[in-house]
Homo-oligomer: A and B are copies of this chain.
Amino acid sequence: MTNCVLCNEDLKPEEGHLVWCGDDCRIILVNDADLPGFCRVIWNAHVGEMTDLNHGEREHLMSLVFAVEEAVRQVMRPDKVNIAALGNMVPHIHWHIIPRYKNDAFYPGSAWSTKTQETPAPILASRVQQAGELSAAIREAVSRLN
């Protein structure tokens, strides 16, 4: 689709970076100032809903989502992981995997809810540092799938 931002993704370093890319999916580490460790698993082709994929494709995509969740838990040690495929604005399948903490900016709401608080700066800085280890952990978790 010529007007889809995920079909024509031109990821700038300040927005995030590509961690892994396969034939069907890619994994992005998102640079979110409030939510370090925010990851995205994107289906490469322009497909709108999970049930537009066949069963094997759904399983493959979800195995990547859960590999990312494993890496996120291991590296970021969050209080909770949030997983979501919304796509109201970009109807091209992409999963958000978000480490959540009781002192993060949106807790206990969703990452799309109103901000509830500011994470203390030193804690946020240490999470940004932790997130630096995520790419390697994700690649390792994905390599264990095969």
* Chain B residue at minimal CB-CB distance from A52: B73
Stretch at the interface among A37-45, A105-113, A132-140: A105-113
Check B84–A84 contact: CB distance below 8 A. yes
Known: A87-B80, A88-B80. A62 touches B73 (CB 8 A): no
Complex Cα spacing A108 to B91, Å: 11
Interface residues on A, range: 20 to 34
Does chain B have a CB within 8 A of A25?
no
A66-99, CB under 8 A of B: which get 1 and which 0? 1001100100000011111111110100000000
Write the nearest CB–CB distance from A61 to chain B, whole angstroms. 10
A42 to chain B, nearest CB (A): 15
| Contacting pair A70 B85 (CB below 8 A) | no
Whether A84 pairs with B85 at a CB distance below 8 angstroms is: yes
User: B-contacting residues of A (Cβ < 8 Å)?
Assistant: 48-51, 58-59, 62, 66, 69-70, 73, 80-89, 91, 100, 107-110, 112-114
